[in-house]
């Protein structure tokens, strides 16, 4: 599927070089590992989002699901590290349930995924805030936070590797395999390309689509666990993450409305966004301006893709 080097990798490399010129520490192993650690949640989220995008949909609910995971975990663990394991398991179950719901409503009730997941975004956030009374409550114990902020030490050559980076690597490999090497992934792309032809070819469209939403929601649970570990309990931890994930997928060459997209591209897209924000920070851009840029980027990336398709 990846015949030539997609432009996003060139852009990513260029931004990384620029950052290194401004901040030589970035080009060291620990510097780059820190960068990857910060980028990991967004990259994992982009990987999950891509499953839904290639099938022709959107999953806007992931940001709120992240918030729910962070707030819900601190509530359920309730300060006792012994609870961490089962609480994480519960979070995955919640994620799967949200994914099944999104996919089922979209498939069977024919509600466009944009609306289904927009509704879910509002509902999940509302539910999370109701649960905690509207403010961040409690804290996350160390054995929960280790995934997001600790490092595996004594690794040959690299010395220390953040757990988040290892998790990102595993997610990247598994997601790439699922999308590009299994019958499910191929059917998902065919479904996004031409739903009618896919149905007439015997593709079980509802099942295939529901699983895509489950993949996206699962990625949100993983991202939530990492973000909770990295930055602790807050009520706006997930805000805007869905847009970042969609932007990343589009930057990575995915076609909105489905049929085209690669997993390495989407992950590179997420890393590029993170690198760009790092760069703009170094250049002294204020944060609101950096945040605002994201909207411009997604519009620009989609316009660029549309322009290229028209030309060919």
- For residues 11 and 275, the answer to whether their CB atoms sit within 8 Å is no
Q: Which is nearer to another protein, 25 or 207 (CB)?
A: 207
Q: Which is nearer to another protein, 205 or 272 (CB)?
A: 205
For residue 83, what is the DSSP state? G
- For residues 92 and 218, the answer to whether their CB atoms sit within 8 Å is yes
- For residues 168 and 161, the answer to whether their CB atoms sit within 8 Å is no
Least distance to another protein, CB of residue 192, Å: 8
- For residues 258 and 191, the answer to whether their CB atoms sit within 8 Å is yes
Q: Which is nearer to another protein, 229 or 259 (CB)?
A: 259
Least distance to another protein, CB of residue 179, Å: 10
Q: Which is nearer to another protein, 25 or 181 (CB)?
A: 181
Least distance to another protein, CB of residue 94, Å: 23
Least distance to another protein, CB of residue 174, Å: 11
The Cα 245–Cα 267 span in angstroms is 9
Phi first, then psi: give them for residue 154, nearest 5 degrees.
75, 20
Q: Which is nearer to another protein, 159 or 309 (CB)?
A: 309
- 251-265 burial, b if ≥16 CB within 10 A, otherwise e? bbbbbbebbbbbbbb
Q: Which is nearer to another protein, 151 or 255 (CB)?
A: 255
Least distance to another protein, CB of residue 109, Å: 18
Binding site for another protein (CB under 8 A): 3, 178, 180-187, 189-190, 193-194, 196-204, 207-208, 211, 255, 259-260
Q: Which is nearer to another protein, 118 or 257 (CB)?
A: 257
For residue 2, what is the DSSP state? -
- For residues 194 and 259, the answer to whether their CB atoms sit within 8 Å is yes
Q: Which is nearer to another protein, 153 or 312 (CB)?
A: 312
- For residues 219 and 62, the answer to whether their CB atoms sit within 8 Å is yes
The Cα 307–Cα 279 span in angstroms is 27
The Cα 190–Cα 186 span in angstroms is 6
The Cα 210–Cα 271 span in angstroms is 27
Least distance to another protein, CB of residue 205, Å: 9
Other residues' Cβ atoms within 10 Å of the Cβ of residue 197: 11
Least distance to another protein, CB of residue 194, Å: 5
The Cα 282–Cα 290 span in angstroms is 11
Least distance to another protein, CB of residue 104, Å: 16
């Amino acid at each position: 599927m990846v015949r030539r080097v997609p432009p996003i990798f060139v852009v990513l490399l260029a931004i990384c070089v620029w950052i290194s010129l401004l901040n030589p520490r970035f080009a060291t192993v620990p510097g780059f590992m820190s960068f990857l650690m910060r980028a990991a949640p967004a990259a994992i989220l982009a990987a999950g989002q891509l499953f839904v995008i290639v099938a022709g949909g959107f999953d806007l609910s992931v940001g709120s699901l992240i918030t729910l995971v962070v707030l819900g975990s601190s509530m359920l663990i309730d300060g006792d590290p012994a609870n961490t394991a089962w609480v994480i398991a519960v979070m995955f179950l919640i994620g799967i349930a949200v994914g099944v719901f999104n996919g089922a409503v979209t498939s069977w009730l024919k509600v466009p995924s944009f609306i289904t997941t927009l509704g879910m975004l509002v509902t999940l956030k509302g539910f999370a805030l109701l649960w905690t009374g509207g403010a961040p409550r409690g804290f996350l114990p160390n054995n929960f936070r280790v995934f997001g902020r600790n490092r595996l030490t004594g690794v040959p050559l690299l010395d220390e590797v953040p757990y988040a980076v290892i998790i990102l690597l595993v997610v990247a490999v598994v997601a790439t395999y699922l999308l590009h090497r299994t019958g499910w992934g191929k059917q998902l792309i065919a479904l996004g390309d031409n739903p009618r032809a896919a149905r007439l070819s015997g593709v079980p469209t509802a099942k295939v689509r529901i699983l895509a939403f489950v993949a996206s929601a699962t990625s949100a649970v993983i991202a939530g666990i990492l973000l909770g570990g990295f930055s602790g309990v807050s009520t706006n931890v997930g805000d805007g993450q869905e847009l970042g994930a969609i932007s990343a997928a589009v930057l990575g060459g995915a076609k909105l409305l489905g049929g085209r997209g690669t997993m390495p591209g989407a992950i590179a897209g997420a890393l590029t966004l993170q690198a760009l924000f790092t760069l703009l920070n170094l250049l002294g851009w204020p944060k609101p301006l950096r945040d605002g840029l994201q909207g411009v980027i997604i519009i620009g990336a989609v316009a660029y893709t549309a322009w290229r398709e028209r030309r060919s």
